[in-house]
């Protein structure tokens, strides 16, 4: 059954237009596109409305609620896989005309307290994108020590009070047992963080850190970018929408790394490893979009194109 919570797709037309812009070389008889994060289907539905009848769209998503929503799409050109987007590496080399990755968390995941992502509404301390498998945040916090918790909050939340929060979590666990709910954790963080960023809940960075860690989001993004480079056709497009600096930094550095010829200084007369991507710029939501959907304010879309002459070169 599909979720009752709604989601407003960020940079909808901009992302789809960038993805489907004609490639530099002729498309195959059956062009294939990938929506790496189906979510609630905003991008996928618009892509399908613009695809020719002979095309295919393959979507990926970990979230069972997303799969339920995908089941409502009656289009023979569409299919979805219950996998993270790093699994697009299973597709054939140089077989995909475009890859779209819309990163981060969807509004239904935040707004449904039962998913455990929200620090404003009480719910189980879960935060798994795929609630059918893996370890929840609550289960991890039962066994993690101060050093481990500090590292996660510091590295994935960029929280300067990471050490104090980690010590408070472990002390609370030892005194009163494991955490059960989101609001318990949020209150502890609020009591521990003495200074607050204007307009931001003190638990924001800690919840972000735990979510990224428990879902291995940055590791999966790195794998997905490498896989996209492998499966893209010459002239194919890579479109990535990021929502925080950790994600955007990885995407920016990946595109930059593969957008230049690389010379081996140890072998100065050897042929360089030719550039594999051409960076096509970045886009942020318009003022009108941010006003209509404040959750879009931090989004950054980066676009790159697979270089024709380097289609056989591996990442």
Average confidence (pLDDT) per 10 residues, the chain, 315 residues: 63 95 68 94 95 95 92 96 94 95 82 82 92 93 97 96 97 93 94 83 94 96 97 95 94 93 56 79 94 90 85 41
CATH 3.40.50.150 fits 12-107+217-310, yes or no: yes
Superfamily of domain 130-214 in CATH is Putative methyltransferase TM0872, insert domain (1.10.150.170)
Q: What is the pTM of this model?
A: 0.88
Distance (Å, whole) CA 207 – CA 193: 13
In sequence order, the 6+-apart residues with CB closer than 8 A to the CB of 211 are: 105, 117, 127, 137, 217
Residue range(s) in the chain whose domain bears CATH number 1.10.150.170: 130-214
Residue range(s) in the chain whose domain bears CATH number 3.40.50.150: 12-107+217-310
The pLDDT assigned to 313 comes to: 41
The pLDDT assigned to 262 comes to: 55
């Amino acid at each position: 059954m599909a979720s009752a919570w709604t989601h407003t797709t960020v940079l909808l037309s901009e992302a789809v237009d960038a993805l489907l812009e004609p490639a530099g070389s002729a498309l195959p008889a059956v062009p294939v596109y990938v929506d790496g994060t189906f979510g609630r289907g905003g991008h996928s539905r618009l892509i399908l409305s613009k695809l020719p009848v002979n095309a295919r769209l393959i979507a990926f998503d970990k979230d069972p609620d997303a799969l339920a929503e995908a089941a409502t799409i009656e289009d023979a050109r569409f299919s979805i896989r219950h996998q993270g987007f790093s699994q697009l590496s299973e597709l054939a080399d140089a077989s995909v005309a475009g890859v779209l990755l819309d990163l981060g968390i969807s509004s239904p995941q935040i707004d449904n307290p039962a998913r455990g992502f929200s620090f404003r509404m009480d719910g189980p301390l879960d935060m798994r994108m795929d609630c059918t498998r893996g370890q929840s945040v609550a289960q991890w916090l039962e066994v993690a020590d101060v050093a481990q918790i500090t590292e996660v909050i510091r590295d994935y939340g960029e929280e300067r009070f990471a050490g104090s929060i980690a010590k408070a979590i472990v002390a609370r666990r030892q005194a009163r047992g494991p955490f059960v709910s989101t609001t318990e954790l949020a209150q502890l963080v609020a009591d521990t963080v003495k200074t607050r960023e204007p307009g931001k809940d003190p638990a924001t960075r800690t919840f972000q850190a735990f979510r990224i860690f428990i879902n291995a989001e940055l590791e999966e993004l790195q794998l997905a970018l490498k896989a996209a480079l492998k499966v893209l056709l010459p002239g194919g497009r890579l479109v990535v929408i990021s929502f925080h600096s950790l994600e955007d930094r990885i995407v920016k550095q990946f595109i930059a790394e593969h957008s230049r010829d690389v010379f081996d200084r140890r072998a100065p007369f050897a042929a360089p490893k030719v550039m594999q991507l051409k960076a096509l710029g970045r886009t942020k939501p318009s003022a009108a979009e941010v006003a209509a959907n404040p959750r879009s304010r931090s989004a950054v879309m980066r676009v790159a194109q697979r270089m024709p002459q380097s289609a056989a070169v591996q990442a």
